[in-house]
Structure 1
Amino acid sequence: MSSPVLEFRDVSAAYGGAVILQEISFAINEGETVGLVGRNGAGKSTTLMSVYGVPSVKGDILVGGKKVSGRAHVPTSRGVSLVPQGKRIFSNLTVEENLMLGRASGRKGTWTLPAIYDLFPNLARGKKRSGTSLSGGEQQMLAIGRALMAEPALLMLDEPTEGLAPVIIDGIIEALKEIRSRGTALLLVEQHIGMIQKLADRYLALRSGRLVGDGPVSQLEDRAVQELIAL
């Protein structure tokens, strides 16, 4: 049986006095693709940011079987990378310089610049341009490529298709399939349930900060599950 690359044990999270997550527990195993679903405000983004200690966290978060202590660099150095909502591309850096930031993790692996350019040829063509001069879809490719350069065992993505045209979304899905085929686990926060159904093995469902569903992605077809999480 594969080992968890990420595990939450009775994790609660809050911003100031506002409690967002309430005692949630789950595990993401090696090579697994999991979709994290729920309505806006359910706590999906907070779940991802909790790995980096951004909200105040109670309970245990383990990366590679070891607890993390709220220091933002620790999860990345242990093999968890985040593609954040909003992309967060640095305007004063070229495409290639933005990609090279991923190397700060110090991890070794196969996600080299040529490998990223093979995955996203548009980035190769624009590698000397400012990162923010790219189209929205290309900036999302850049954000994914930068996260891959950290050589993650688990790639977390927060709304990776937000604001993108359908043809670009199809390209992102194909890229994620390729990433998955290379053994990287994926944790997807995504409003488009169709994308979760195309990519994920399993879903986790949040409602008002509580974990209310955990099962095979085929269950998302069930009306009872849809009503439970109000999709």
Structure 2
Amino acid sequence: MSALLEFEEVNASYAGAVVLQKVSFSINEGETVGLVGRNGAGKTTALLSVYGVPSVTGRILIDGKIIGRRRYEPSKLGVSLVPQGKRIFPNLTVEENILLGKASRRSGEWTLESVYELFPNLERGKSRLGTALSGGEQQMLAIARALMSDPKLLMLDEPTEGLAPVVIDELIVALQKIRDKGTALLLVEQHISMIQKVAHRYIALRKGELVGDGPVADLNNREVQEMIAL
């Protein structure tokens, strides 16, 4: 497998406040990785660094290409983000929200039909306003919208936040199907059991530094849990 996303000695800060310090890791094609750590460890900042939201030094590469500060560039190169909080457009229908994902103009196997097959509830409610959906359905809508850009890598920030256990189970099945289609996933998630059901590998941050990288089975190890302060 070749590296799809690479961080090389990445530092990230907001208004001079350093959040990430010399973070280096890579995500391979078709690989699913869980990014773990306590609140404030820098997980969300790592995802946003791909889009140049914080001030970034070091190098971030997609498919071997160094990305600049143009926020649309990652999407053009095949990286999509499902942000924390879903960010559904309230004045658009479910289907209109989904179709916004085609703005990158990438084409591939993800179509309205395939995302509706993945999330049947969205098809049943396609004419409703996006904000009329339940919290779980809105998360599915955010994922469907991101898939419409046919990403090589789909990054998700706390996708289970505020969801009921039965909805989390449905989301796990959907992410497994996305993974099995060959889409790489980078998953920021507090539920370690979900990481273990979906991911191949974990990366751990603590206070903005990389402190762990290994197979998800190692997350059962008490020494590893203590090291990354889970």
TM-score normalized by structure 2?
Answer: 0.99
Residues 54-97 of structure 1: per-residue CA shift (max 9 Å, x gap):
00000000011101102110001100000000000000111001
1:8 corresponds to which letter in structure 2? F
1:49 corresponds to which letter in structure 2? L
SS in 1 for 2:56: strand
1:215 corresponds to which letter in structure 2? G
Q: Percent identity?
A: 70
Runs of 4 or more off by more than 2 Å in structure 1?
none
Residue 108 of structure 1 deviates from its aligned partner by 1.0
In structure 2, the partner of 1:17 is 16
Residues 155-206 of structure 1: per-residue CA shift (max 9 Å, x gap):
0000000000000000000000100110000000000000001111100000
1:147 corresponds to which letter in structure 2? A
Residue 37 of structure 1 deviates from its aligned partner by 0.2
In structure 1, the partner of 2:196 is 197
Residue 5 of structure 1 deviates from its aligned partner by 1.2
Distance 2:66 2:145 in 1: 25
In structure 2, the partner of 1:42 is 41
Matched, 1:26 2:29: no
In structure 1, the partner of 2:102 is 103
In structure 2, the partner of 1:182 is 181
In structure 2, the partner of 1:92 is 91
Q: What stretches of structure 1 of length at least 5 have no aligned partner?
A: none
In structure 1, the partner of 2:155 is 156
In structure 2, the partner of 1:146 is 145
In structure 2, the partner of 1:211 is 210
Residue 17 of structure 1 deviates from its aligned partner by 1.3
SS in 2 for 1:13: strand
SS in 2 for 1:206: strand
Residue 13 of structure 1 deviates from its aligned partner by 0.1
TM-score normalized by structure 1?
Answer: 0.99
In structure 1, the partner of 2:68 is 69
In structure 2, the partner of 1:223 is 222
In structure 1, the partner of 2:136 is 137
CA RMSD of aligned residues (A): 0.5
Distance 1:35 1:106 in 2: 28
